Chains A and B, each alone.
Chain A
Amino acid sequence: MWRGLWTLVARAARGPRSPRPCTRQGSGAPAPGSGATVFALSSGQGRCGIAVIRTSGPASGQALRSLTAPRDLPPARKACLRLLSDPRSGEPLDRALVLWFPGPQSFTGEDCAEFHVHGGPAVVSGVLQALGSVPGLRPAEAGEFTRRAFAHGKLSLTEVEGLADLIHAETEAQRRQALRQLDGELSHLCRGWAETLTKALAHVEAYIDFGEDDNLEEGVLDRADSEVRELEVALGAHLRDARRGQRLRSGAHVVVAGPPNAGKSSLVNLLSRKPVSIVSPEPGTTRDVLETPVDLAGFPALLSDTAGLREGVGPVEQEGVRRAQKRLEQADLILAVLDASDLASPSSCNFLDTVVIPAGAGSPNGRSQRLLLVLNKSDLLPAGGPDPSADLPPYLLLSCLTGEGLDGLLEALRKELAALCGDPSTGPPLLTRARHQHHLQGCLDALGHYKQAKDLALAAEALRVARGHLTRITGGGGTEEILDIIFQDFCVGK
């Protein structure tokens, strides 16, 4: 398996990666034939104050210029403060220290750039994705920085600095395992796509290596063509729907909802550690949707306080309820708040029936919504807990007044958000995400080249590139797999 991976390490670096109009700035086009430029998060994984992202290779200067404003290279080996923004969208990412190390006086001996960014997952992910979109750049493979350093006789430095890289290399073997658990849906999809693509490629290869003299059945190429077309549609749809990546950058939408006077605003204030909403014992205090960006258990989130859901009130509050319901539909995660001491009230029961139960059962449009049920005002409860007669889904007890139960809630939030955004503390999903997007886009681009190619060797090459991108997410990808399919599907040879 490794052999295949390795030969494809380089392959994915090849070409037709960026059919989008090339945004070359200045003279920064990568020098031909001097190898790809790689990038990686080189500080530790997970949450930290400052994260260091490093590039190595001839396009490092270009990468630095296209992410920073002003767009000139900083003086060599001097830390400079720059505004980082995404070169495609212009969206600002972070204000960060950048360093420019022209080769050979650098860590790897090649041109290197370093971005010292604020360590939140959103920022790191944003910068990695921005780098992935710069022509000539690709995510580094495990241990690649160290190997490059070695190749340029820089190992004494590597003895110290290569450590992080090496740790990544060791976790590399576990990367796919982790990926499967974290990102089950995508991994499953990718494996399916890779299988289809490998089969299509095997059939094209069979047509090249055996088509002339052996009697391959009719339509081998036509079938490959239609498989590629379907794959293209599926990949395109997936890439357009990259909600998860956006969540990580701009924060997951967490909506606090519940019947009036359940303590929603108290919870928002508790979680944001500032008085966002006016709190009063009077039901219907919050009438509009109040949004505040917060850091929830290490994840960026947009916390929305909503009007208590009830009927038969004045037009202003009615509008508030309508907005709250709309916001609920868009929520990535609902924090459903009920008054633990008032579970039997009509508004509580109505809320349970219309919001809590349907979310757990999966919504009609097939997107089941994540929801945490919080029973507030636990301080008012008798020692036996909430009324056992109320048939409740799993819940968390909390007292916004005393703070009791807050730790449990935060832990539950961390789990939910990790599932939504990818968990930064279990290792490389940030990298993984940038890689995914990079390779899926690369795969899609290559499939486009396949369709255009008139020369069959060129068409097969495009499929090889496409498969190379996918197998770097899923593993595998050796020539033997291709030959196995050929000999299994066709009676070839004489």
Chain B
Amino acid sequence: MFSFRGCGRWVAASLTKQHHPSSRFSGDSAAPWTPHFDVVVIGGGHAGTEAAAAAARCGSRTLLLTHRVDTIGQMSCNPSFGGIGKGHLMREVDALDGLCSRICDQSGVHYKVLNRRKGPAVWGLRAQIDRKLYKQNMQKEILNTPLLTVQEGAVEDLILTEPEPEHTGKYRVSGVVLVDGSTVYAESVVLTTGTFLRGMIVIGLEMHPAGRLGDQPSIGLAQTLEKLGFVVGRLKTGTPPRIAKESINFSILNKQTPDNPSIPFSFINETVWIKPEDQLPCYLTHTNPQVDEIVLENLHLNCHVKETTKGPRYCPSIESKVLRFPNRLHQVWLEPEGLDSDLIYPQGLSVTLPAELQEKMITCIRGLEKAKMIQPGYGVQYDYLDPRQITPSLETHLVQRLFFAGQINGTTGYEEAAAQGVIAGINASLRVRHKPPFVISRTEGYIGVLIDDLTTLGTNEPYRMFTSRAEFRLSLRPDNADSRLTFRGYKEAGCVSQQRYERAIWMKSSLEEGISVLKSIEFPSSKWKNLIPEASISIGKSLPLRALDVLKYEEVDIELLAKAVPEPLRKYTKCRELAERLKIEATYESVLFHQQQEIKEVQRDEALQLPKDLDYLTLRDVSLSHEVREKLHFSRPQTIGAASRIPGVTPAAIINLLRFVKTTQQRQAAMDRLPKTDQHLCNTDKLEDRQL
């Protein structure tokens, strides 16, 4: 249906002129040059790229608007992706056919799985990424995505119209106004502005407006959102200085080598693009009392640290580490920025001192004695919107068809942004096609945990994912993200390719078959002991042991089992991933059985939907305390499950709410049986109520 113009045109365009505000770059030659799209995504960062690509995958004609095309896919902070919890998010993004995992498999320079010895449920896939390659590969992907057009331009305002009566919300967004005054119409708009909303960069006592070093902030848009009535908060984050690679004495530092073999992020990749022996090492050094001294002596030159704006507790600047945990040596990881980059990123040295003091501090550190600072570290302060103002589909309560994703919702991290981007993109597209929203429950994925935490509890510091946030951690593992999300993504959202879907089906059926085969093989423990002398099987149990039980032993894997019982187990050793996943399923089998019960209970509460148009503040005929009303009014939980997770909402309030909703539904059902004219009248009544 569509022919791709793709990369050629992009290269031509980028060679000729890059910064013309209205130049459009399209992977879709058939797209008319009319400024009307199904979905417009504002921002080309990790949330924006995922949102735009997801909307396009779902079949929506999509426009990605960004300040500069050449910063699409830019990694503004650390040169790495993944980690504990974050790797889980990436696997889930990948299960929905998102981009970042695949791009990382093409752009990494050091792949290492964290937590290898702590159990597969908490393995953290992580990689050092070549910034340049990532950006190149991401831009190639974005500019070759069918139905996706890219345009440079800064958005100044939103075009608003009357709300659709069948949905809640005061307004409906129908397009955007650019700085140059031109307009683009859209059925849905996704805002992924990162740190650009009234962004402010801080180095020492200097502050100047910028979204990222060298980029203009978005001020008009921030004002628009505030005027509409969105509750705005302020957060801060920081990034360390960059150091010239050749000025570092690596020979005296601890070297960390990558995994061999490398484990890819994406389910559809068997391996990564680069061999382990060609990958780059990382190095470890530590701070010392001299560093503490420089920090403490110069606090008066450091306004970022003194500000009351909330920064992340878990991504602290060196200043806050020194202040909170004095007299300790703090780790500094020296990470490569890319294969041919001459920069090193000192992870753990985020700092906002004046530049010359940063340089002085760096040279106190072992291995960095002669280090040359290429770019100083800096702090960023920016606006975020209280995420309790959005639904689990990431649409705002206030403005219909307006979606938020990424740091604008108070999160930090590439992976958290990407996860929201996929969901916002999918839902922006579904909304246009009048389909029900695609919501991931906290029982289904870390994405669900992330979005549920944000939308029901809000956040007052940059939100980062940890595995300790997931109550169903043993079920939500990196290895099984595809069986949790790919099928839903394919059937409900249409964001998953046929190829990926079929692979997931194959894997699922192979796993099920494998597990039932392993359950069917039963021998007395003494026989197992003879077959697999390596395993510490205790003899004397009268009951026969299943092969699945034997596989639970730490020292047993499918390989070993298949040696003992070649038929029918040999075939399961053929696929590395399948063999590994069978082992993981065996490890957690007994606990998962119970966790499944618990998940059912939570899902039961989540199936109880609350009407979206309840006005909790004025609701009559229901006994709710004022405090509870205000809490419900602000968070607007969509289900009884979400309502019950809001702190301060009591069990009694939940039941009163249930009862009220049920009676209303019965009344509504009775009303629906009345003749049409009456129904029309009743709808108008409702409209007036809302406007009051």
Query: Please, which residues of chain A bring their CB within 8 A of the CB of B251?
Result: none
| Cβ contact within 8 Å between A159 and B85 | no
* Closest beta carbon of chain B to A108's beta carbon, Å: 11
State which of B8-16, B175-183, B201-209, B646-654 sits at the interface with chain A.
B646-654
Return the contact of A479 from the options B114, B468, B604, B646 (Cβ within 8 A).
B468
User: Is B640 an interface residue, CB under 8 A from the partner?
Assistant: yes
Contacts A172-B650, A456-B118, A491-B321; is A3 near B659 (CB within 8 Å)?
no
- List chain A residues, Cβ under 8 A from B84: 208-210, 212
Q: Is A119 an interface residue (CB 8 A)?
A: no
B326 CB → nearest A CB, Å: 10
CB of B119 within 8 A of CB of A3, answer no
List 24 interface pairs A-B (beta carbons < 8 Å), by A numbering.
Answer: A2-B647, A10-B599, A16-B591, A34-B600, A35-B601, A147-B605, A147-B640, A147-B658, A151-B605, A155-B659, A159-B659, A169-B651, A173-B652, A209-B466, A212-B84, A212-B115, A213-B331, A454-B554, A455-B118, A456-B118, A457-B474, A460-B473, A487-B313, A491-B328
Name which residue of chain A comes closest to B325, CB basis: A491
Among B117, B467, B608, B651, which residue has its beta carbon within 8 angstroms of that of A151? Answer: B608
Are A494 and B347 in contact, CB atoms less than 8 angstroms apart?
Answer: yes
CA distance A147 to B608 in the complex (A): 9
Q: How far is the CA of A487 from the CA of B313 in the complex (A)?
A: 7
Is B690 located at the chain interface by the 8 A CB criterion? no
When chains A and B are docked, how far (Å) is the Cα of A482 from the Cα of B468?
8
The residues of B that contact A494 with a CB separation of less than 8 Å are 78, 315, 331, 333, 347-348, 350
Interface residue B587 (Cβ < 8 Å from any Cβ of A): yes
Residue contact A36 to B597, C-beta cutoff 8 Å: yes
- Cβ of B644 within 8 Å of any chain A Cβ, yes or no, is yes
Q: Mark B271-282, 1 if CB is under 8 A from A, else 0.
A: 000000000000
| Interface residue? B121 (CB, 8 A) | yes
Tell me the B426-464 residues at the A interface (CB within 8 Å). Answer: 456-457
Q: Are B602 and A205 in contact (CB under 8 A)?
A: no
How far apart are the CA atoms of A487 and B594 in the complex, in Å?
Answer: 31
A479 and B651 form a contact (CB under 8 A): no
Cβ of A232 under 8 Å from chain B: no
Interface residues of B in 323-372 (CB under 8 A from A): 324-325, 328-331, 333, 347-348, 350
Name B465-490 residues within 8 Å CB distance of A: 466-469, 471, 473-474
Q: Are A13 and B662 in contact (CB under 8 A)?
A: no
List CB contacts (< 8 Å) of A177-218 with chain B.
205, 207-215
Q: Does B655 contact A (CB under 8 A)?
A: yes
Q: Tell me, rounded to whole Å, the shortest Cβ–Cβ distance linking B524 to chain A.
A: 21
Enumerate B100-130 residues with CB–CB distance to A below 8 Å.
114-115, 117-122, 124
Interface residues in A121-166 by Cβ distance below 8 A to B read 141-143, 146-148, 150-151, 155, 158-159, 162, 165-166
Measured CA separation A143–B471 after assembly (Å): 22
Q: A162-B655, A166-B655 are in contact. Are A15 and B594 (CB under 8 A)?
A: yes
B651 touches A483 (CB 8 A): no
Q: Tell me if A212 and B114 are in contact (CB < 8 A).
A: yes
A456 to B348 CA separation, bound complex (whole angstroms): 26
Tell me which residues across on chain B come within 8 A of A147, comparing CB atoms: 604-605, 608, 640, 654-655, 658
Interface residue ranges, A against B (CB under 8 Å):
1-3, 6-7, 9-11, 13-16, 32-36, 141-143, 146-148, 150-151, 155, 158-159, 162, 165-166, 169-170, 172-173, 205, 207-215, 454-458, 460-461, 464, 478-479, 482-483, 486-487, 491-494
Residues of B within 8 A of A173 (CB): 650-652
- Taking a contact as CB atoms under 8 Å apart, the answer to whether A150 and B608 are in contact is yes
**Which residues of B are at the interface with A, using a C-beta cutoff of 8 A?**
78, 83-85, 114-115, 117-122, 124, 312-316, 321, 324-325, 328-331, 333, 347-348, 350, 456-457, 466-469, 471, 473-474, 554, 587-588, 591, 593-602, 604-605, 607-608, 640, 644-652, 654-656, 658-659, 662
Determine if A150 and B316 form an interchain contact, defined as CB atoms under 8 angstroms apart: no
| Interface contact A169-B598, CB-CB below 8 Å | no
Q: Which residues of A contact B655 (CB under 8 A)?
A: 143, 146-147, 162, 165-166, 169
Which among A2, A214, A492 is the interface contact of B650 at CB below 8 angstroms? Answer: A2
Once the chains bind, are A14 and B328 in contact (CB under 8 Å)?
A: no
**Alpha-carbon distance between A461 and B591 when the two chains are bound, in angstroms:** 9
Instruction: Identify the closest chain A residue to B313 (Cβ).
Output: A487
Taken together as a complex, chains A and B put the C-alpha atoms of A170 and B599 apart, in Å, by: 26
- With beta carbons under 8 angstroms apart, the residue of A34, A150, A151, A491 that contacts B330 is A491
A456 to B690, CA, bound (A): 53
Q: Which of A9, A16, A170, A457 has the most CB of B within 10 A?
A: A457
Closest residue of B by beta carbon distance from A207: B118
A14/B588 contact (C-beta < 8 A), A457-B473, A479-B468 known: no
Q: B656 — which chain A residues lie within 8 A by C-beta?
A: 166
B593: chain A residues within 8 A (beta carbon): 15, 32
The interface residues of chain B lying within 8 Å CB-to-CB of A483 are: 313, 466, 468-469
- Known A170-B652, A482-B468; judge A457-B119 contact (CB<8 A): yes
- Give the docked Cα–Cα distance between A455 and B473 (Å): 13
When distances are taken between beta carbons in the complex, the residues of chain B under 8 Å from A172 are 650-652
Taking the closest CB of chain B, its distance from the CB of A144, in whole angstroms, is 8
Nearest B residue to A159, CB-CB: B659
Cross-interface CB contact of B597 among A35, A207, A210, cutoff 8 Å = A35
Query: What residue of chain A has the Cβ atom nearest to residue B83's Cβ?
Result: A213
**Given contact pairs A10-B601, A34-B600, a sample of 12 additional A-B residue pairs in the complex whose CB atoms are under 8 Å apart:** A32-B597, A35-B597, A142-B651, A150-B659, A165-B655, A205-B466, A455-B119, A458-B587, A458-B588, A461-B474, A479-B471, A494-B333
- CB nearest to B653 among chain A residues: A169
Q: Identify which of B315, B350, B659 gathers the most chain A CB atoms within 10 Å of its CB.
A: B659
Please name the residue on chain B nearest to A201 by beta carbon.
B468
A34 touches B597 (CB 8 A): yes
* CB of A491 to closest CB in B, whole Å: 4
Chain A residues with CB below 8 A from B604, complex form:
35, 147-148, 151
Known: A155-B659, A455-B119, A494-B347. A33 touches B640 (CB 8 A): no
Is B471 within 8 A of A11, CB to CB?
A: yes
Question: Which residues of B have CB within 8 Å of A211?
Answer: 115, 118
CB of A207, distance to nearest CB on chain B (Å):
8
- Which residue of chain B has the shortest Cβ distance to A492 in the bound complex? B314
Kindly report which residue of chain B lies nearest to residue A494, judged by CB atoms: B348
Give A3 to B357 CA distance when docked, in angstroms: 45
Complex Cα gap A173–B325 (Å)? 39
Question: Which 5 A-B pairs give the minimum distances between C-beta atoms?
Answer: A15-B594, A457-B119, A493-B314, A455-B119, A457-B121
- Residues of B near A159 (CB, < 8 A) are 659
When distances are taken between beta carbons in the complex, the residues of chain B under 8 Å from A165 are 655
| Most-contacted residue by chain B among A14, A34, A148 (CB, 10 A) | A14
A456–B123 Cα gap in the complex (Å)?
Answer: 11
Q: B114–A213 contact, CB under 8 A?
A: yes
- Distance of A170 Cα from B350 Cα, bound (Å): 50
Cβ–Cβ < 8 Å partners of B120 in chain A: 455, 457
With a 10 A CB-CB cut-off, give which of A15, A173, A212 has the most chain B CB atoms.
A212
Q: Which residues of A contact B324 (CB under 8 A)?
A: 491
| Identity of the chain B residue whose Cβ is nearest the Cβ of A142 in the assembled complex | B651
B596 touches which of A33, A150, A492 (Cβ 8 Å): A33
Contact in complex: B652, A458 (CB < 8 Å): no
B115 touches A208 (CB 8 A): yes
A2/B648 in contact, CB under 8 A: yes
Residues of B within 8 A of A212 (CB): 84, 114-115, 124
Of all chain A residues, which has the CB nearest B468? A205
Which residues of chain A come closer than 8 Å to B321, judged between CB atoms? 491
Does the CB pair B118–A208 fall under 8 Å? yes
Let me know if B331 and A142 touch, CB within 8 A: no
Query: In the assembled complex, how far is the CB of residue A169 from the closest CB belonging to chain B, in whole angstroms?
Result: 4
Task: For A166, list chain B residues within 8 Å (CB).
Answer: 652, 655-656
Min distance, Cβ B371 to any Cβ of chain A, angstroms: 18
Asked whether, in the complex, the Cβ of A33 is within 8 Å of the Cβ of B115, the reply is no
* Closest residue on chain B to residue A149 by CB atoms: B658
Determine which of A32, A215, A493 lies in contact with B315 in the assembled complex, contact meaning CB atoms within 8 Å.
Answer: A493
* B599 proximity list for chain A (CB < 8 A): 10
The winner among B78, B471, B605 for most chain A CB atoms within 10 A is: B471
